[in-house]
Amino acid sequence: MQVSSTFFIFGLFVLLQYSSCVFAQTIDEVDTADFAQIAFQETSFSFGELRQGEKIEHTFTFKNIGNAPLVLNNVLSTCGCTVPKWSKEPIPYDSTGTIKVIFDSKLKIGRQNKVVTVRSNSKEGDFRLRLSGMVLPIAKK
């Protein structure tokens, strides 16, 4: 009877070890799944000072460092004074893309902080790009 119990416990131990190896293999397979991954050269830009009514343009550059094509689903701004333009084509692995943002300071004055939200199929989810600076009043003549 004692030998039978020992074999049962040993068999149970082997089964549990095998199960944990299979589970670990499943986790590893998830880690190597295809996904897009976006990496920006910079996520914020300070335009310094400009006069009310002037426009500033800045281009954010990014790279797809994932192993699946990167698609920018949408790029949204918090204000009509900030207009983003981006490539609508999928960005292949190890390729770069750009998002050009134009800020129009018409009707703006003082410190400005504008946020542009990038929605994509990237593993990280949404990204926030920021523009900031000071809009000075129009110089009096």
- Give the total number of structural domains in the chain: 2
In this structure, the answer to whether residues 26 and 44 fall within a common structural domain is: no
Residue 81 resides in a domain = yes
Residue 125 zone, left/alpha/beta (φ > 0; ψ -120 to 50; rest): left
Predicted structure pTM score: 0.75
CA-to-CA separations, 55 to 29, 49, 50, 136, in angstroms, rounded: 49, 11, 8, 13
- Does a structural domain hold residue 141? no
3-state secondary structure of 29: helix
pLDDT given for residue 24 in this prediction: 39
Residue 16 lies in a domain: yes
Residue 80's CB is within 10 A of a number of other CB atoms, namely 8
At 19 the pLDDT is: 45
If asked whether residues 129 and 87 sit together in one domain, one would say yes
pLDDT given for residue 6 in this prediction: 57
Considering the domain architecture, whether residues 80 and 102 belong to the same structural domain is answered as yes
Reading the block at residue 51, the tokens are: 């006069």
| 110 and 93 in a common domain | yes
**What tens-digit pLDDT sequence spans the chain (141 residues)?**
565 655 555 555 554 454 444 443 344 444 457 899 999 999 999 999 999 999 999 999 999 999 999 999 999 998 999 999 998 999 999 999 999 999 999 999 999 999 999 999 999 889 999 999 999 999 777
Domain assignment of residue 10, given as a range: 1-33
**Domain containing residue 63: CATH number:** 2.60.40.10
